[in-house]
Amino acid sequence: MQQSFRELAVLSQDVDQAFQAFYDQLLEDEHFSIYFENDAQIRMLVQKQKENFLTCLDMELDAIKKNYVWLGEMHYDLRLPYVDFMKGMEILEDHFLLFVQSKPDSAELMSSIFTFFKVIKSNTTRGYLNRMLVEDKKDLDVFFKDLRIQDKEVDNRIVMERMQWLKSLLEAVEHRKLDAITDFDSEDFTNWLRQLEFISLEKQKFLEDLDKRIVINTRNLFYFLQKEDYLEILPLYASLMNVYKLTMLLSSSVSFEMSDYIISNLRKDGLTNLLRKEAFEQFLTQEIATTRRYKSPFCLVFIDLDDFKGINDTYGHYSGDAVLQHVGRCIGENIRASDMGFRIGGDEFAIILKGAQAKQAHNVCKIITDEITKKRFDVTEKRGFSITVSCGIYECNREVAQKGDMKTLLEGVDAKLYEAKKAGKNRICY
């Protein structure tokens, strides 16, 4: 490619007319006229663009590129839509082509004009792309920051991995790391879907199709990046980002589905269908923080089977498992959806009753314990047993939450459970 466009200097005498005709056409179009405030602004813009155009005709190619990259960045900062800017460039190009037709060697001049405008449009596009990359990277940084402080109960692994992929892509485009495309192998990129057996096949298929589009767009993007063809790169980049954002919306949905799956299955005790001990302290910490902030009390309940070891020793572990299943069912069926039941030990259970005071918690525990104790477990036709449980209740109001911590709460409910045991078992203390 030539290193300058000095042969286009013969157009210097036509520049005034070309730019005037260019702006007249823009002002006649309501879509473009909204970008201009008054005649003084228009005159200033015309003068600046004429000077810039004439200066570029005497520049070396690298200098022209830098100049129009800067111009693209400036127009992006002014929030002039890329499509409108490119349309304006095409209109200006058409006007110069009209003027050159009457010149000697018009064919060579027209070829130079085509080449010149391709260079300036491509590098203006690069300026727009530079700014888009900066803003998208800022959005990613905010995203990562917000994701890290979200509720840790939500498994964000999927979203984090995919956003990290996107961040790597943006850095590769920004710094023209052309070999980075080898990191985005489609097989590796879609492997995560095979781990999500709990989402619908329809959603899996849709996500797979989106991933294929992302991989194709990414490969094309790097192909044109290697050729420095920014007129092709920017639409591909915009399309890639749109598809990727749609994928991220679905990935976020998948992440929440995974969270529900984990909470509903992996974090539940298989025997009692209650949450396991691993989740207990985390939910309890959150509830204390909620009480501090919103002044809404809650009650922590400990339920312990009376003489459970004797049941296992006398009737066997199969009977013991039946007892635990029964207790878990009685707890689960008699608390609200907003409350949480846990199995925190062999025969030890806990309940978090949200928004409840001690008296209300006592009424709930009375229903649960009555249902637990009324069942008879038949081992044989003539041999069977019933069970009793002891309950301790500790109310956490705002004053308790402000003064204490989880340790205080656990000690308090332990003391109430011990009180129930010491008083003869089969009772509720609060």
Using alpha carbons, select from 179, 350, 184 the residue that is nearest to residue 280.
Answer: 350
Report pLDDT digits (tens) over 85-118.
888 888 888 888 888 888 888 898 899 999 999 9
Distance CA 322, CA 53 (A): 87
Mean pLDDT of 398-416: 88
Please report the sign of the dihedral spanned by the C-alpha atoms of residue 322, residue 324, residue 330, residue 335: negative
For 243, other C-beta atoms within 10 Å of its C-beta total 18
Task: Identify the three-state secondary structure at position 302.
Answer: strand
| 110 burial type by CB count under 10 A (0-12 exposed, 13-18 middle, 19+ buried) | middle
> Nearest-5° angle of CA 316, CA 319, CA 324?
125
Asked if residues 388 and 376 have their Cβ atoms less than 8 Å apart, the reply is no
Report the distance separating Cα 53 and Cα 12, nearest Å: 9
DSSP assignment letter at 268: B
- Within 8 A by CB and 6+ apart from 361, the residues are 299, 301, 353, 393, 395, 430
Res 285: pLDDT: 87
Give CA torsion, residues 340, 344, 348, 354, to 10 deg: -20
Chain segment 168-222, per-residue pLDDT in tens:
888 888 888 877 665 555 444 555 555 555 566 676 677 777 777 787 888 888 8
* Predicted structure pTM score: 0.55
Residue 368's pLDDT band (boundaries 50, 70, 90)? very high
For residue 143, count other CB atoms closer than 10 A to its CB.
16
